[in-house]
Structure formats: structure tokens, C-alpha cells
Amino acid sequence: MFDPNDIRHDFPILNVKVNGKPLIYFDNAATSQKPKQVIEAIENFYFLKNANVGRSIHTLAEEATELYFQSRKKVADFINATPEEVVFSSGTTESLNAIANVVAEKFLNPKDIVVTSILEHHSNLLPWVKVCKEKSCALKVVNANKNWTINIEKLEALLKEGAKVVSLTHVSNVLGTINPIKEVSKLVHSYDAILVVDAAQSVPHMPVDVKDLDCDFMAFGAHKMLGPMGTGVLYLKKRYADLIEPWNLGGGMIKSVKLLNEVPELSCCKVTYEDTPIRFEAGTPNVEGAVGLSAAIDYLSKLGMNSVLFHERQLVKYLLENLKGNSFEVYGPKDENSITGIVSFNLKGIHAHDVAYLLDKLAGIAVRSGHHCAQPLVNILGTVATVRASFYIYNTIEEINAFIEALKEVEKMLK
């Protein structure tokens, strides 16, 4: 276990004053703050190692390439994958869009069923809406059970009907509830279907082992786990990596490109792609992003992911105890052990935007308000917007005390 007060000094932004008050940052499900170690790793890359990777043979290029591959190895070890299964992307959204497109192209036929759930972020819903329309497939959105995780019986019913693909979030970005992915993957595979997992809200907050979960594809981003924006990961199980055609084409991802005729004007090209994962990373990759993510993983690994989850749950437990009054409507499970560090609630009779706005202006507290890019879920909760407090490693009980006091002040103002 760790004491957040021992690590806060690593996060320069926590010294910033917002509206005259020390920043209290409870918007970690949107993006996390970055420790000096990550910022310095990126700086060092540009100060000392910057070159394009996988191309030139000069020393600097070799070093940059080595750094990039070490970063990939670090990510692979962190989620218990092999480096061949780890493709860098610009983020969870790009990963999920790429997965939806290639899975549809390779494995879906008209009238096939694709399954997703009410718990999804729009990033794991809209790409499937698009590809299902293009491929004339049926998209089925499975409801949640009373614990706000996927309704397994309904999922199984759709698998029995022949569903080909199931794409599911690991952790809800609104409620913090954790889907039983291991159980789901056994079920999905017993019907020979494919399982895609949106891990944007799980990998930063809890141990995630792709072999243990046995998912076929997984997506997550660096910026919610202390890393830089614009960097993400697409995990694809080796057997799928070998079956899928690259979705981006260009430099750095081929073994050879040859003209089939000596006269260029008359010729077609014969292209041989590189092996996975290079074949999926056309163009100059985001090396600084990979290096930053690698430093973020070092930082999190030192704390231990079980400790990260434990710490967040301590904070959630304390907050939930303080939100028990009649003034609050708390959404989702009230048991900290079934969620990660996310609590969605409303001050009864007051719009979430008013609460979020005044928390910021009166107390320098950053929370998210709205539908959190999960409009169907928020509507099913019976509202149009919630206030979402989401925690990370540097948050403290003292900050939650200030939060509770500020909520009382907001209520007094608007009631």
C-alpha cells in the first residue's frame, strides 16, 4: 500500500491554484495528471534520442528504435501479452474504430449479429453502429443487470442466436462497475464468437491480464494512466493478428513493394507486409507517446496495480459514506468493492452542470458533469446528466472532505 501524500510531489500540476484554491482534481476518468517521471522521459527522448524509428541505420535511429521496442515490450509485460500482440495507436477511440472496421471486413456477413451493451462509452458503440449499417448486420445492445454489469443471460441468448462478435467495456466510465470479462470470454468463445474489450477505464486502475481474461482484442489509452495524450494501445491476439489485413498503409510497414512489370506505366505493385505488429503501424509512429507510456507503466508498477485499486476503493468508500444524506442521488452500486474509483451522483433537484460549475468556481474542484459520452446509459439511469467524481493515486481523504464541504455550499446556493 502507498500513501498518496508521498507521491503528490511528483505531480507538478497539483500545486496549481484554481480560482484561488489549491486544485482538487477529481476528473481522472477523463484524463489523469502526469508525474515528472513521464514528462522527463518525453523530454529526454527529444533532448537526447530523437530520430525516426525502424528506418535509418545511424546510431541515433538505432537508439530511438530500441527505445520504441522497449516501450512496446513494457506494455506487453504490463498486460501479459507478447510484443507482437501490441500495436500502438492514437488512443482507445482509434483502436476501437480500427478493430470494428477490420473485424467487420474479415468476419462479418449480412444479417450477422454484433452485441454490445448499454454500459458502453460512445467509442465502443458508434463504430459498431457504422460497420453494422455498412455490412447489413444487426447490432444488439444488451441491458445491464441490477448490479450494473452486463446481463449474462441476455448475452447468452444472443450468442445462441448466432452472434459473431461481442464488444464490451471492462469498466463503466459512468459507474465504475466491472464487467466479468473472464466469464464473458468463456461464454463468447464457447459459441465461437469474437470478444472485443474496451479497457480504457480498467487498465489504468486495476491489474489486467489479457491471457487470463482471454479476450481477442482490447483497447486502451495512455493518457488516463499517467501517460501522454495521443497514444493508445490495440491488443490483438496473435491468431487474429495473422489473419487481419493492415488498415493503414504507408511507410515502415512493408517487407517489399515491387512493380510487376518493367514498364512502370503498365505495372501493378506486389506488396509484402511486415510481420505483426509493425504491419499495423504505417507512418512515423508516436515514439514520444510510447516512451511516455512506458515511463507511466514504470510508475504504476512501482505502486502495484492492486494497491492502486485498493487506494481508489478506500476513497470511494469514504465518499459514498458521505453521500448518504437525502440531498444526494447516487447512481450504481453503493459497494466500493464492486467498482473502481468512479462515483456518479446528483444533488437532488439541481442540474449537474450547476454543481460542477460551482465546485470549480468556489472550491477549485474539477469534476465532470453531463452524460460522459455514454448517453444511453445515463438516460437509463433516469437522468440527463450526472456529476462524476473519479479518483486516482494522488487523491486524498482530505480532498474528499473539502469536496463534501463545497457540495454543501453549492446546495445552499441553489436550493
Chain residues binding other proteins by CB under 8 A are 19-20, 350-354, 357-358, 361-362, 370-371, 375, 383-385, 409, 413-414
Residue 205 contacts residue 175 (beta carbons within 8 Å): no
φ and ψ of 178, to 5 deg: -110, 115
Burial bucket for residue 356 (CB in 10 Å: 0-12, 13-18, 19+): buried
Please state whether 94 falls in left (phi above 0), alpha (psi between -120 and 50) or beta: alpha
Q: Going along 189-307, which residue ranges are E strands?
A: 194-198, 217-221, 232-236, 254-259, 269-273
**DSSP states of 28-75 as a string?**
TTT-----HHHHHHHHHIIIII---SSS--SHHHHHHHHHHHHHHHHH
Shortest distance (Å) from residue 141 CB to other proteins: 18
Residue placing its CB nearer to other proteins in the complex, 20 or 110: 20
Residue 373 annotated among the catalytic residues of the structure: yes
Residue 24 contacts residue 8 (beta carbons within 8 Å): no
Amino acid at 373: C
Shortest distance (Å) from residue 400 CB to other proteins: 21
Residue placing its CB nearer to other proteins in the complex, 80 or 383: 383
Residue placing its CB nearer to other proteins in the complex, 21 or 36: 21
Shortest distance (Å) from residue 361 CB to other proteins: 4
Residue 385 contacts residue 351 (beta carbons within 8 Å): yes
Residue 219 contacts residue 232 (beta carbons within 8 Å): yes
Catalytic hit among 132, 137, 215, 373:
373
Shortest distance (Å) from residue 19 CB to other proteins: 6
In the chain the first and final C-alpha atoms are separated, in Å, by 41
Distance CA 259, CA 138 (A): 41
Which residues are the active-site residues? 373
